[in-house]
């Protein structure tokens, strides 16, 4: 194992992406977790401060997904993610220089109906190669960048977004048409019956325009985007070995966030937020949402369900999700599936699906 794997091991500890072997394997980190802050119920989110980094928490991300289409109706999906992970807790003024305990990782994905591109960047904190500033908002790693353009009341209201890989790049502008939406209990999102939790809010109302560069040429696109913000210090519970997450834009204007944490030894733990077209969230606890795999696809690295049935009886929701490209496997240091889906059934629309813990 070389030193680069350290980043892999490090980031596999991210709760959303943790596999069981990893979360138990590095016992040293379990003790470290005690030095980190933990999410607590009843803490108010405060903006723009919380758009920035929380170095006293172990892990954090800025996670944007978007369903886009070209003028010819062809579907595209993009992903832009910046992960932060701390090797050691950091309170007070962040450490400058090589000694900073922060590590950053960027993932970019671009999915077309018949191709999937992905790229990854790693950087250490404290030296300016990667980081996040709350106001004016800017998140970057190398030349990948998500930054406020200065319009709108909130720093997140208008953003520019760029990323590139060896064979693709994109350059997009994002304009929010609705408010920020907290998940769970005013942003306190519970992840397991044992009480593991994170702070979690979203900006799901982006209108997007811009262009994609692909090996076949440039494409002008428009569509909807969804930005997730989440930070925590607690890994999944020991028996949770993966995660299926969805963010759906329904044609009627409403939106749905839902996830299912798979448990080796028991029923999965689910959670959901129904978002009205005006941005009013309704949180749903464990059991309200059911996610049922219908069909599986063999990807380059793992067999994953790419057709799902999503039901929420409380909302009369019964839809079928179908991956636009079932081969949207992210061949990054820690691999997972992330790609756009078509939604049909009681509430047609489009959305994004993320599945972790299926590979090794």
Partner 1 sequence: MRRAALAALLSHWRRQPLQLFTLLAGLALATALWSAVQAINGEARRSYDSAAATLGISGYASLTDPAGPIPIATYAALRRGGWTVTPVVEGRVLRGEIRLNVVGVEPLTAPDGLLPVGLGSETGAAPLDVLRPPGLGFVAPETADDLAGIADLPRLITDPAIPPGRMFTDVGTADALLGKAGTIDRLLILPDQPANRPPLETLAPGLTEVPPQDQGDIARLTDSFHLNLTAFGLLSFAVGLFIVHGAIGLAFEQRRPMFRTLRALGLPARTLLGLLLGEVMLLALLAGGIGIGLGYLIAGALLPDVAATLRGLYGAQVRGVLAFDPLWALAGLGIAQLGALIAAAHGLETVRRMPLLASAQPRAWATVSARALRRQALAGAALVAAGVAVALLADGLIAGFALLGGLLLGAALILPRLLAAALGLGARLARGPLAQWFWADTRQQLPGLSLALMSLMLALATNIGVSTMVSSFRLTFTGWLDQRLVSDLYVTARSEEDARALRAWLAPRSDAVLPIWKVDTPLQGAPGEVYGIVDHRVYRDLWPLLNATPDTWPAVYENRGALVNEQLARREDLSPGDTLSLGGGWEMPVAGVYSDYGNPIGQAVVGLPALLDRHPDVSKLRYGILTSDPTTLRRALVEDYGLPEANLIDHGRLKATSLQIFERTFTVTGALNVLTLSVAGFAILTALLTLSTMRLPQLAPIWALGLTRRRLARLEILRTLALAALTFVVALPVGLLLAWCLLAVVNVEAFGWRLPMFVFPLQWAALLGLSLVAAAIAAALPTRKLASTAPSQFLKVFADER
- The nearest distance, CB 172 to partner 1, in angstroms, is 18
Q: Which is nearer to partner 1, 4 or 92 (CB)?
A: 4
Q: Which is nearer to partner 1, 149 or 333 (CB)?
A: 333
First to last CA, the chain: 16
Task: Return the residues of window 157-186 that contact partner 1 according to CB under 8 A.
Answer: 164, 166
Binding characters for partner 1, 124-143, by CB under 8 A (x = yes) = x--xxx----------x-xx
- The nearest distance, CB 330 to partner 1, in angstroms, is 18
- The nearest distance, CB 217 to partner 1, in angstroms, is 15
Stretch that binds partner 1, among 8-16, 185-193, 240-248, 307-315 (CB under 8 A): 8-16
Task: Return the residues of window 200-229 that contact partner 1 according to CB under 8 A.
Answer: none
Q: Are strands 197-214 and 240-250 parallel, antiparallel or unpaired?
A: unpaired
Q: Which long-range contacts (CB under 8 A, 24 or more apart) does 115-119 make?
A: 115/214, 115/325, 116/325, 116/327, 116/328, 116/329, 116/339, 117/165, 117/167, 117/168, 117/214, 118/165, 118/330, 118/331, 118/332, 119/163, 119/164, 119/165, 119/166, 119/168
Q: What are the beta bridge partners of residue 64?
A: 80, 227
Q: Which tokens sit at 126? A: 């404290």
| Rounded Cα gap, residues 84 and 56, in angstroms | 11
Q: Which is nearer to partner 1, 123 or 132 (CB)?
A: 123
Q: What are the beta bridge partners of residue 163?
A: 170
| Rounded Cα gap, residues 246 and 230, in angstroms | 15
Stretch that binds partner 1, among 120-128, 214-222, 251-259, 286-294 (CB under 8 A): 120-128
Q: Which is nearer to partner 1, 5 or 303 (CB)?
A: 5
Is residue 267 at the binding interface for partner 1, with CB under 8 A as the rule? Answer: no
Residue 134 near residue 142 (C-beta atoms within 8 A)? no
Task: Return the residues of window 23-82 that contact partner 1 according to CB under 8 A.
Answer: 26, 28-29
Q: Which is nearer to partner 1, 110 or 197 (CB)?
A: 110
Question: Residue numbers of the site for partner 1 (CB under 8 A)?
Answer: 1-10, 26, 28-29, 87-88, 96-99, 101, 103, 122-124, 127-129, 140, 142-143, 164, 166
């Amino acid at each position: 194992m070389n030193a680069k794997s350290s980043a892999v091991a490090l980031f596999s500890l991210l709760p959303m992406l943790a596999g069981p072997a990893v979360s138990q394997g590095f016992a040293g980190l379990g003790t470290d977790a005690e030095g980190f802050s933990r999410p607590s119920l009843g803490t108010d989110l405060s903006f723009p401060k919380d758009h920035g980094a929380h170095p006293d928490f172990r892990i954090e991300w800025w996670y944007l997904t978007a369903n886009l289409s070209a003028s010819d109706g062809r579907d595209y999906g993009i992903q832009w993610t910046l992960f932060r992970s701390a090797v050691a807790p950091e309170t007070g003024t962040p450490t400058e220089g090589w000694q900073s305990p922060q590590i950053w990782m960027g993932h970019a994905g671009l999915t077309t109906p018949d191709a999937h591109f992905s790229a990854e960047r790693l950087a250490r904190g404290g030296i300016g190669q990667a980081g996040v500033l709350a106001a004016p908002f800017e998140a970057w790693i190398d030349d990948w960048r998500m930054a406020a353009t200065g319009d709108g009341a909130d720093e997140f209201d208008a953003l520019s977004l760029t990323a590139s890989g060896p064979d693709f790049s994109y350059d997009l502008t994002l304009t929010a048409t609705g408010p920020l939406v907290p998940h769970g209990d005013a942003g306190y999102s519970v992840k397991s019956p044992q009480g593991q939790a994170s702070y979690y809010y979203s900006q799901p109302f982006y209108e997007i325009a811009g262009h994609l560069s692909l090996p076949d040429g440039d494409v002008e696109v428009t569509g909807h985007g969804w930005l997730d913000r989440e930070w925590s210090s607690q890994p999944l519970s020991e028996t949770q070995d993966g995660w299926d997450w969805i963010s759906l834009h329904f044609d009627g204007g409403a939106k749905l966030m839902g996830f299912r944490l798979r448990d080796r030894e028991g029923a999965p733990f689910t959670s959901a937020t129904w978002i009205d077209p005006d941005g009013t969230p309704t949180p749903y606890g464990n059991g309200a949402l059911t996610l049922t795999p219908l069909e599986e696809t063999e990807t380059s690295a793992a067999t994953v369900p790419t057709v799902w049935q999503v039901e929420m009886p409380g909302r009369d929701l019964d839809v079928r999700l179908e991956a636009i490209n079932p081969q949207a496997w992210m061949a990054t240091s820690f691999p997972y599936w992330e790609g756009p889906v078509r939604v049909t059934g009681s509430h047609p629309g489009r959305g994004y699906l993320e599945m972790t813990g299926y590979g090794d």
